[in-house]
Amino acid sequence: MAAEVGRLSKNLLRMKFMQRSLDPETKKQLEEEEKKIISDEHWFLDLPELKEKESFIIEERSFLPCEDFLYGRMSFKGFNPEIEKLMVQMNSKTTEIKTEEEDPDFGKMDVDVTDEEMALRYESLVNSIRKKFAKKRDRAAIKETEDENCNVKGRKVKKAFLKPQD
Amino acid sequence: MSSVQDAVDQVVLPGDVLLLPVQAADAPLSLSAAASDTKRMRVVCGPGLVRHGEDLQVTKCGLLRHREPAVYWVESHQKRYVPVKGDHVIGIVTMKSGDIFRLDVAGSDQASLSFLAFEGATKKNRPNVKVGDLVYGQFIVANKDMEPELACIDGSGKANGMGVIGLDGFMFKVSLGLVRKLLTPQNDIIQELMNVFPMELVIGMNGRIWIKAKTIQQTLIVANILEACEYLTAAQRKQVFAKFSD
């Protein structure tokens, strides 16, 4: 009893206005005690750690990915031409694989202009566009090179100022 | 407990557990390859199968089918239709309520169909659908907790033959197994049916078939043949078709 006289209780020391007068050692002690109380009050479930497993099985409730079904509307012997057109279009997915094997040209577009014609046309187009964007001075240079290639005319002599003779 | 490969094309019963084969890792660049030295193939289990740990468990009786690379399903005889997303079905309009139609699709619940889910339909230009009409549509919502929802347009807004089916004709019900048989590519029944009468038919995955031929008599003949196909052998069916083909 005598030892405790002159000592302040813990709860009093924890109060805000007492904080300043505390020496670091008792402060540390108080903090530790507070932490202990908090950690004791925390609950946790005592369970084994769950292992996340990658699943390689996909569940599917539909027959669609299992079987390649035909289109559900059908028409035979020209009863409904609209539906017959649709049938060909919608069933092309399932028959595509076959036609690809049989026909080497399958997948190629029907073209009006062949690749060679297209290339020729673009060649001249490239030239004319280049001329359009070139400056006047460069345009002359382009012409010159063309002339050289085609051997049409000789070089034009560049006009220069001629000093008149006295 | 048997391996899946042994059970393919065999009869399986509910409760059977099918073991999946363990395959060596074939992708050396895979990040998980270092962690696990053996790797299973990505398996798709279709109707009639559920996942059971790392194996498959059978929930319907029937024949186990397999398709490359690793798709398994059970081909079973069934009459009850359960809506599945993506299925094309024939529904009967039972109610018109404001913006949606209610359709009987032979499932446990009625399906809803928005009046905007038709090709070319707008708020002002409503589709002409009456109670009692037959509608050929596709499920866009179908799960066990929600009301199924149909649409008569695909993702790009095209009808592609979906919508109200014509006025006349005859609709009847067959089993789901027969419907699937009729819809498999290059199946005998449809190939033989092509040569009988000029006609039109719509097959819904919910077991409903709608037929229209030139006369009522022809329509009924075809309907009876198709209904009988369920129980006819291939030879018997050929006999029947030979009677009517010209």
For the stretch A7-64, pLDDT in tens is 778 788 778 787 777 788 888 888 898 888 888 888 877 777 776 666 778 888 888 8
Residue with tokens 């309520």: B97
Q: How far is B79 from chain A (nearest CA, A)?
A: 15
**For residue A59, what are the β-bridge partners?**
B45
A contacts of B41 (beta carbons < 8 Å): 56
Among B32, B47, B185, the residue with its CB nearest the CB of A63 is B47
CA distances to A131, A144, A149, A150 from A134, in Å? 5, 14, 19, 21
The answer to whether the Cβ–Cβ distance between B202 and A73 falls below 8 Å is yes
pTM of the model: 0.66
Residue B106 token pair: 């032979």
CA distances to A123, A140, A153, A156 from A150, in Å? 16, 15, 8, 15
Cβ-proximal residues to B116 (8 Å cutoff; 6+ apart), any chain: B99, B122, B123
pLDDT band, very low/low/confident/very high, at A4 (cuts 50, 70, 90): low
A contacts of B49 (beta carbons < 8 Å): 59
Calpha distance B44→B51 (Å, rounded): 10
Residue A153 token pair: 């005319």
Q: How far is B41 from chain A (nearest CA, A)?
A: 7
A149 touches chain B (CB under 8 A): no
Helix axes of A136-150 and A115-133: crossing angle, nearest 10 degrees? 140
Calpha distance B237→B243 (Å, rounded): 10
A106 pLDDT above the threshold of 70: no
- Assign 3-class secondary structure to A24-48: HHHHHHHHHHHHHHHHHHCCCCCCC
Q: What is the pLDDT of residue A56?
A: 79
The answer to whether the Cβ–Cβ distance between A94 and B185 falls below 8 Å is yes
Strand pairing category for B111-114 and B100-104: antiparallel
Residues B87, B139: contact at Cβ < 8 Å? Answer: yes
B contacts of A75 (beta carbons < 8 Å): 199-201
Report which of B62, B111, B60 is spatially closest to residue B85, judged by C-alpha positions: B111
CA-based radius of gyration for chain A: 47
Side-chain-facing half-sphere of B136: CA atoms under 13 Å:
24
The answer to whether the Cβ–Cβ distance between A61 and B41 falls below 8 Å is no
Chain A CA closest to residue B48: A61
The answer to whether the Cβ–Cβ distance between B180 and A94 falls below 8 Å is no
Q: Which has more confidence, A17 or A83?
A: A83
For the stretch A143-157, pLDDT in tens is 655 555 555 455 567
A contacts of B199 (beta carbons < 8 Å): 75-77, 79
For the stretch B200-223, pLDDT in tens is 999 999 999 999 999 999 999 999
DSSP, res B168: S
Q: How far is A47 from chain B (nearest CA, A)?
A: 21
Q: What is the pLDDT of residue A138?
A: 73
DSSP, res B74: E
Q: What is the pLDDT of residue B205?
A: 93
Using DSSP, state whether B114 is helix, strand or coil.
strand
**For residue B89, what are the β-bridge partners?**
B137
CB atoms within 10 A of CB B112: 18
Q: What is the pLDDT of residue B158?
A: 87
Q: What is the pLDDT of residue B11?
A: 93
pLDDT > 70: percent of chain A:
72
Q: How far is CA B141 from the centre of its chain?
A: 15
CA distances to B113, B129, B201 from B156, in Å? 17, 22, 25
Per-residue pLDDT in tens (0 to 9) along chain B, 246 residues: 788 888 889 999 999 998 887 754 444 444 444 444 445 567 888 999 998 888 889 999 999 999 887 889 999 999 999 999 999 999 999 999 889 999 999 999 999 999 999 998 999 998 999 999 999 999 999 988 999 999 999 988 888 889 999 888 999 999 999 999 999 988 889 988 888 889 999 999 999 999 999 999 999 999 999 999 989 999 999 988 888 876
Cβ-proximal residues to B152 (8 Å cutoff; 6+ apart), any chain: B113, B117, B118, B119, B135, B136, B137, B138, B159, B162, B163
